[in-house]
Amino acid sequence: MSVSLALVLGLIGSILAPFAAARWKTIGNALVVAVPALLFLFFLMQLNAVGQAPIIEENAWVPSLGITLTIRLDGFSLLFALLISGIGTLVALYAASYMDEKTPFYRAQFLFYILLFMSAMLATVTADNLMALFVFWEMTSLLSFLLVGFDSTKLAARKAALQSMLVTVGGGLSLLAGIILIGVAADTFSISALMENPAPLVESPLFTAIIILMMAGAFTKSAQVPFHFWLPNAMAAPTPASAYLHSATMVKLGVFLLATMAPIFSQAAWFGPTLVAFGGATMLIAALQALRSTAFKAVLAFSTVASLGTITMLIGLDGEVAAVATVGFILAHALYKAALFFCAGIVIHATGEPRLNRLGGLASVMPITAGATVLAAFSAAGLPPFVGFISKEYLFEAQIESTFTAIAVLIGVLVNTVMVAIAVVVVMRPFFRPARRELHVHHGEATGMTVGPVVLGVIGLLFGLAPGLVATSLIQPAASAIYGEPLDVSFYLWHGFTPMLALSILVVALGLLVAKYWDPIHVALRRRRIFDRVLDDRGYYWVLDNTLALARWSTLRLQNGDLRIYTAVIATVVTFFMVYALLAGEGPVFPSVNHPEFNIYMVGVIGLIIVGCFVAALTTSLVTAIIGVGLAGYGLALVFLLNGGPDLALTQFSVETLFVVIVTAVLLRLPLMFTTTRTPGERRFDASLAAVFALTIFAAVLWIEAVPFNPVIPEYFAQVSYTEAFGRNVVNVVLVDFRALDTFGEIAVVAFAALGAWALLRRSNVARKKPASTPAKGG
Amino acid sequence: MTFLYAAAIAAYTGCGLYLMLSRHVVRIILGLALLTNGAIFLIFFSGRIGSMVPAVIPLGDQQLAPDAANSLPQALALTAIVIGFALTAFAVALLVAAYKRLDTLDAREMTAAEDMGSPFLPPGGRPSTGGRPSNDGRSAEKTPEAEKKSDEVKTNG
């Protein structure tokens, strides 16, 4: 079976299974778990093949745009696919149980989102075409929005959902821009093609912009500084979603992209150091915020942000070990962090108490959960013989071997100290320390919910004890994929007495110390409000509020209901572009003064027009103004008459006469003198605007006369008017034959205008009786 | 002569725009009429003028004489004249109807739609009908009454 087919079947299953779950509880839940489980088995079977060479399958999607839905399964994306489908299986199992007491529809809806997310996520990591990757990337953002805001009746959930959406989708736009630039620079959207031939991309002047844009997209998705704030807020999601999206899989998409592109991007010398800087800053800030957090899930969320920072830093570090460390850390972190979230969910679900310091003494009530938490926490703390220990050893080795030794190791030690402390605290507080006050436990642990953390915890122990299980089959191909060349991987537990072991021991010792004094440190840091001001999402709200305020302000300013402003804006813009066009073209050119030939009658006619216009513009009397407009109109008719357009002249005479008659007849009901509606200042402004506009038109007319005339169309009409349309009056033939549809439209417009005017005036006839009847009634 | 033609077109458009910038609805319509004429003149002019011979094929000939006027801008101008007239006539009708109902010719005071509430403000953000006294609100209330009254008049008559 091909990977594409498996993905499509997975999608179909993801859509259908939740509907079954809505109807038949047991069978439906089994189906919901079966879909990711089967996918997991499928991807497991690909291990051997991918170990040899990446699987690439091409499917045409938009052939005309050169977009193919190519599937690319290399070691690194296979690692992600296994994590997504494997943890997805446990999440589905866990969620079915977590939502047990909810209505079937509510539960099915949640499972629907989760499975749909899984499909989108699998498609993202296996997409070879960057455009396809972007589409699926945004789908995960959208599903994250739906899952964070799942408790849609809660204001906090809706706010957090919107925030995560705006941040990740905003970053997604940046990513899209970067992808488009890649297409411009390298003429391909295919990751495989870029890997084979990175030269056009690397040598392009757009290379820097591309890296920055794609980095911004990755940083928003993976909650790196300065976008770290959305992830902790996203904990408003139900816990299964938090465990799945916001710790194990989706938030790793950013680092997935960076790691995938790293072999190419690292050709820019500043790529690595930038990632180290941002990753390091994220680690420190997240560690600090984790110490300041009270809620169980918030502590875990900040430790997730710190881990994402660690991965970002590892991608930025140079050397072979860094690639192995990245892969190892992603694997270990997904295993233990998902398990910890599962356990947090069980505890919160059973007690209804989200705050860590209110929990206690739960080990006797929920022993399995306590055991699973211990397993996961040991791995998180990096204690042997868990897989977390191996990954931490590699982390330190990568830091020591890199060119950033001192600062990287310092950050690593500080942050891992906090990680150890967190691991100790999340085990001791809820389970082994007595509760400070009476804790009401609603129910014990459900089997469906404990399976996930126990399995993950045991796997963490298993991989630690027998790293050979994953070293060559999974870690080696994945690390080779992001390193760019095949690597020899030695992923084993005991490295001997090395500097890394010393650092590990130091970190554990310091971590235990911090855990012992957790409360005083927590309280002292929490009191410092300055951290709130600098580190939380104030910046986001500042941008959001000001964007909305700007929109409101500009709407009220521009759409202020004053017709004069609208007209002025339109006139200004039109004038601006006309002036620009005149200047940007060949510049003002002047025609010969003697063409067309001098004609004394024309001078008189034009004088009539100009006088008429100014009379209309300047008078305060309605009748005078109408006469002025009429004069100018008759002037135009005379222009037509004197220039070989008798038809036009006739039409213009009739229209102008009608205009004067109708307007006079109708407007005589209105006040005969104009009331002033503009201040003198406004009038001066309008006069200058009109003058500039008129001068621009003047220049444009001269320019028109000066450019060469192309008589092709009139000559064509002149030749075929009689022979083909059998008419001697060419103007009329053009109207009723060559441009018949145009004329038809014109007639329709006139008819509609007449209908509209008739309807309006008929209505006003009804209203006209009002003044007659009012005094009668009043008296 | 080109300068004179250009001056005439500029006078049309400039004075037309000046009138259209007014808040007095009648002036806006007059300005629209002038601007329309300016546009028609511009179309006519850009087809190059100078020939006094109409674009009509003389009897017996198969083709137009080479010195005849350009037919294309004339056809376009003819369409434009008629459309312009239709537009102006409709605008005049609209103006009369508006004046009967709203009793004002100032565009600023024609706020019957705005008084129904601003779509840009949240409900309760600002009183949508309160604030300044608006005669449009009153006339909007009056209209159904007036229609009822006129019905009465009809039935009585």
- CA distances (Å), origin A129, targets A56, A226, A267, B138: 11, 29, 21, 63
Among candidates A561, A645, A686 on the partner chain, residue whose Cβ is nearest the Cβ of B54: A645
Residue A364 burial by Cβ neighbours in a 10 Å radius (0-12, 13-18, 19+): exposed
Alpha helices by DSSP H, listed for A204-319, are: 207-221, 230-233, 239-243, 253-265, 271-292, 296-316
B104 CB within 8 Å of a chain A CB: no
d(CA A581, CA A623): 39
Among candidates B107, B120, B146 on the partner chain, residue whose Cβ is nearest the Cβ of A555: B120
Note the pLDDT tens digit of each residue in A289-344: 999 988 999 999 999 999 999 999 999 988 788 889 999 999 999 999 999 999 99
Q: Tell me what pLDDT residue B119 has.
A: 58
Note the pLDDT tens digit of each residue in B30-54: 999 999 999 999 999 988 887 788 8
Q: Identify the helix (H) or strand (E) that includes residue A72.
A: strand A71-73
Using the 8-state DSSP alphabet, how is residue A58 labeled?
A: -
Amino acid identity, position A82:
L
CB contact under 8 A, B97 and A567: no
Among candidates A662, A717, A777 on the partner chain, residue whose Cβ is nearest the Cβ of B92: A662
Q: Tell me what pLDDT residue A588 has.
A: 55
Task: Tell me the residue ranges of DSSP E strands in A392-435.
Answer: none
Whether residue A301 contacts residue A148, with contact meaning beta carbons closer than 8 Å, is answered with no
B134 CB within 8 Å of a chain A CB: no
CB contact under 8 A, B19 and A617: yes
Structure tokens at A609: 């027009």
CB contact under 8 A, A635 and B8: yes
Amino acid identity, position A644:
G
Q: According to the 3-state scheme, what is the secondary structure of A6-37?
A: HHHHHHHHHHHHHHHHHHCHHHHHHHHHHHHH
Whether residue A475 contacts residue A463, with contact meaning beta carbons closer than 8 Å, is answered with no
Structure tokens at A50: 């991918």
Whether residue A380 contacts residue A392, with contact meaning beta carbons closer than 8 Å, is answered with no
Q: Most B CBs within 10 Å: which of A557, A560, A673, A677, as the mutation test of the B interface?
A: A677
A64 against B79, higher pLDDT = B79
Residue contacts between A and B (CB atoms, under 8 Å):
328
Find the residue in B nearest to A674 (Cα): B24
CB contact under 8 A, A709 and B149: no
Chain A residues inside the 8 Å CB shell of B153:
769, 773
Phi/psi of residue A341, nearest 5 degrees: -65, -40
Alpha helices by DSSP H, listed for A466-536, are: 468-470, 476-483, 499-516, 518-527, 529-535
d(CA A33, CA B98): 67
Residue B4 neighbours by CB under 8 Å, 6+ apart: A602, A603, A606
Q: Identify the helix (H) or strand (E) that includes residue A460.
A: helix A447-465
Find the residue in B nearest to A725 (Cα): B62
Q: Tell me what pLDDT residue A225 has.
A: 87
Nearest C-alpha of chain A: how many angstroms from B26? 8
Note the pLDDT tens digit of each residue in A427-461: 998 888 887 777 788 887 888 889 999 999 999 99
Please report where in the chains the tokens 């859509």 appear, as a residue.
A15
Residue B62: half-sphere exposure toward Cβ, Cα within 13 Å? 5
Q: Tell me what pLDDT residue A779 has.
A: 31
d(CA A714, CA A777): 67
Note the pLDDT tens digit of each residue in A746-775: 999 999 999 998 888 875 455 444 444 444
Q: Most B CBs within 10 Å: which of A562, A600, A609, as the mutation test of the B interface?
A: A609
Q: Identify the helix (H) or strand (E) that includes residue A73.
A: strand A71-73
Least confident range from A135-149, A265-279, A521-535, A725-739: namely A521-535
- CA distances (Å), origin A413, targets A369, A403, A410, A459, A705: 29, 17, 5, 26, 79
Chain A residues inside the 8 Å CB shell of B28:
563
Residue A672 neighbours by CB under 8 Å, 6+ apart: A621, A622, A623
Phi/psi of residue B55, nearest 5 degrees: -80, 65
Nearest C-alpha of chain B: how many angstroms from A695? 7
Find the residue in B nearest to A591 (Cα): B2
CB contact under 8 A, B90 and A757: yes
Quickly count helices (H) and strands (E) in chain A.
34, 4
Note the pLDDT tens digit of each residue in A9-68: 999 999 999 888 888 888 888 999 999 999 999 999 998 888 888 888 888 877 777 667
Find the residue in A nearest to B42 (Cα): A701
With CA atoms as reference, report the closest residue to A121 among A224, A14, A259. A14
Q: Is the pLDDT of residue A778 over 60?
A: no
ipTM of this complex: 0.77
Nearest C-alpha of chain B: how many angstroms from A533? 29
